[in-house]
Every structure is written in structure tokens, then in C-alpha cells.
Amino acid sequence: MDEDRAPDRRGGTNTLSARPRCAVAIVGGGLAGLALADELERAGIDWHLFEARERWGGRMQSLTVDGAAFDLGPSWFWSIQPRMRALAERLGCPVFEQYAMGDLLYEDDQATVHRDRGFASMAGSLRVDGGVKSLTDALAAELPASRLHPATPVRGVDRERGLLLADGRNWPAEHFVLALPPRIAASLTFNPELSPAQTRGLKGVPTWMAGHAKFVAVYATPFWRDEGLSGDAMSHSGPLVEIHDASPLSGRPGALFGFYGVPAEIRRDHPEALAEATMAQIERLFGPAARDTRHTCLQDWAFEPETASPDDRAPPTSHPEYGPLPAFSSAWDGRLLPGGSETARTFGGYMEGALERSAELAVHLSG
């Protein structure tokens, strides 16, 4: 048992600070942090959540055009992921299947377009109408505002003084949960310092999809469907390597989204050439109507400091093996707990993993 453990986790006082020590201080208001706060709230545990950005959701972010939301980060979950389905149901967020009717387009390395009958690469994947950000917005709206601290970056964790906030305050707590990508957690200061194995452990975990950029084009209607196209396209010419229909359940307005195959530094250094090459490509694939956009948006996650470290700019080529970090199994006598999707055992890296890890931490912290 720590000599500095609070006598009562619902509000014992820390002799080093006038502020009562809370039971759990959560760093990061993405899906993992919000889901953990939600579970702790239900268990009657005293928690506070600190988020660097002004908005909730982390990698779950949407663009809103004409009242419809388009995912700029994650879009899909799958039927083998029960927590996401249950959360959407509980929060009243409608779920529907990715549009997958019609032919797929394929562009070879000479930019010649081929049409492939009846194959849809993401058929059966599930989407949230209103965008996945409606889940994190709804979770945040249900939680007591007095415990939520948006636009409050954490710059470090001090075992005695608590979270060290960028505004100079400190927030004592019995447990500290790092509900953020491990590589971003590695950029915080720790007192006492982390061991080399702990630092290596955090830095060695690639942040899933953090090196990617997503392009969204919104149209009055999903005109490609009228031509028997699913909206799916694969390309060996680029700059987009993979395109899908991103329209809402109603199909109005229509939208396409694509992932880039261009390295992050080139995306950053040549935005105008990239924008023109992108529009030229979707016109090659979907015809002249593809130029008639209502709105376009390029969300580059590789340069968001709350999501991606410089090491994330070259993304892994396959899904990494994620899980709890062994070097933290009893860090600070069990008071310092890595969280976030990348520390989940089964669905690490995915939204489901954020829910999985937070459920595991909630059981641990309520025990």
C-alpha cells in the first residue's frame, strides 16, 4: 500500500495539496476516456477527465454538411464487436450497413479504370448514422459537466502532486489512467521518471491509423449509385488508394471518402498539388459529375500532435499486435495505468478496443 494513498477514495485529502484527491484522474477524452468515465460514474467512483482538445472524441471526428455528418476518422465497426453495437443501441444512435451494392472500380498503375462486377470490399461493415462522433458526443452529454475538463492539456503526472495541467494547476488522484495513444503518453513528463523499459514500452506501440489522411467529398446525391457503382474503388495510381461510399443512411447528401497512399511529408509539403491530383483521380474514376462537389475536406491525422507522434507518420503495413504493456503491470504500485484502444487485448487499435480496455479498467478500479 502506498504511504500517500488517500484514506477515502471518494474524497480523501492529500497533505501536499489543498485540492481533494480524486480516485481516478483520466487523461484523454476520446472514446476510451469517456467510456471509462461513464463506467466509473455508474459505479459511484470519484473521477475527473482531462482532454487537451476543445472537442470530445479524439480520433472520432466528423464533418457536418447540410445537417449530415461524415466521418473523418473511423467509420466502421463489425458484427463480431459487441460493445460498439451495445453502446450505439444504448445511446439511441442508428446503425446501418456500409453501402455495398454495385460494381467496384479499379485503377491500374497506368491510371486505366476497370470495372469489377459485384465485388464490395467493405460489405457487411457497420456505420453509425450521424457519424461515430455522435457516440462520443452523447457519452459526454450524459456525464456531469463538473467532472469534465475539455481544453485542458495534461503535460505530466507527478505521483505526489497529481496530474500537472498545462495551465499550471495540479490535480491529485489516487489512480492515473492514460487514455491516449501510448506514444502520446510517452511525451508527458513523469515524476518519478519512468523506467527505460516503460518508456520503450510506450514508444514502441504504433498508434492505429494515426499516420493516415482521409479525403471526403460531399455531393447533392450519390450519383454513382445510379450508374450501378458501389462507390468502392481501389487504385495503384493514386493519390487515393481506397475509396468508399460515405453517404448517410438516407443517401442524401451523397459522399465518397478515400485514404491516401502518399507519404505524410509529401501531403504536408504539397497541399495544392495533392488537392488537384485528388480531384483529377475521382473524376477519372467516377466521371465529370465527381467535380461537382458541395464540399470537400482533407483530414490529415499525421500532423495532429494529440494523435500522432513523428514515429507514426510511416504507418505499419499490417495491424499490430496490441495489448496491455507488461512494463506497467505494477507501475507506481498500480496507480499508473495505461489505457486507450492500443492497450486492449482483443480489438486493440479499434473503437471496440477502446471500449474493451475501459471496461477492463473499470472492473479493476471498482474492485
Cell triple for 279:
480531384
Given candidates 26, 58, 105, 281, which one binds ligand FAD under the rule CB under 6 A?
58
Q: By CB neighbour count within 10 A (0-12 exposed, 13-18 middle, 19+ buried), where does 13 fall?
A: middle
Q: Closer CB to ligand FAD, residue 68 or residue 205?
A: 205
Given candidates 23, 24, 26, 32, which one binds ligand FAD under the rule CB under 6 A?
32
Sheet containing strand 154-158, edge to edge, reads 170-171, 162-165, 154-158, 189-191
Give which of 306, 307, 314, 297 is closest to 211, Cα–Cα. Answer: 314
Give which of 204, 136, 153 is closest to 354, Cα–Cα. Answer: 136
- The interface mask with ligand FAD, positions 279-318, x = CB under 6 A, is ----------------------x----xx-----------
- The interface mask with ligand FAD, positions 33-52, x = CB under 6 A, is x----------------xxx
Q: How far is the CB of 359 from ligand FAD (least distance, A)?
A: 13
- In three-state form (DSSP H/G/I as H, E/B as E, the rest C), the secondary structure along 230-295 is EEEEEECCCCEEEEEECCCCCCCCEEEEEEECCCHHHHHHCHHHHHHHHHHHHHHHHCHHHHCCCE
Fill in the amino acid letter for 285: L
- Stretch of residues binding ligand FAD (CB under 6 A), selected from 113-121, 179-187, 216-224, 328-336: 179-187
Contact between 131 and ligand FAD per CB under 6 A: no
Contact between 180 and ligand FAD per CB under 6 A: yes
Contact between 214 and ligand FAD per CB under 6 A: yes
Q: From CA 184, how far away is CA 191, in angstroms rounded?
A: 17
Q: Closer CB to ligand FAD, residue 245 or residue 352?
A: 352
Q: How far is the CB of 76 from ligand FAD (least distance, A)?
A: 4
> Which residue is it, cell 471518494?
10
- Stretch of residues binding ligand FAD (CB under 6 A), selected from 110-118, 174-182, 193-201, 231-239: 174-182
Q: From CA 91, how far away is CA 229, in angstroms rounded?
A: 33
Q: How far is the CB of 69 from ligand FAD (least distance, A)?
A: 15
Contact between 60 and ligand FAD per CB under 6 A: yes
- Stretch of residues binding ligand FAD (CB under 6 A), selected from 16-24, 75-83, 95-103, 280-288: 75-83
- Size of site (CB under 6 A) for ligand FAD: 41
Q: From CA 146, how far away is CA 228, in angstroms rounded?
A: 51
Pairing of strands 295-300, 170-171: unpaired
Q: Closer CB to ligand FAD, residue 203 or residue 284?
A: 203
Q: Closer CB to ligand FAD, residue 54 or residue 109?
A: 54
Give which of 67, 340, 86 is closest to 218, Cα–Cα. Answer: 67
Cell triple for 257:
471518402
Contact between 98 and ligand FAD per CB under 6 A: no
In the chain, the largest separation of any two C-alpha atoms, in whole Å, equals 71
Under DSSP, the state recorded for 195 is P
Given candidates 14, 23, 29, 337, which one binds ligand FAD under the rule CB under 6 A?
29
Q: How far is the CB of 113 from ligand FAD (least distance, A)?
A: 25
Given candidates 153, 238, 323, 324, which one binds ligand FAD under the rule CB under 6 A?
153
Q: From CA 152, how far away is CA 158, in angstroms rounded?
A: 17
Total residue count of the chain as it appears in this document: 367
Q: Give the interface with ligand FAD as residue ranges (CB under 6 A).
A: 27-33, 50-53, 58-60, 73-77, 153-154, 179-181, 184, 208-210, 212, 214, 301, 306-307, 340-341, 349-354
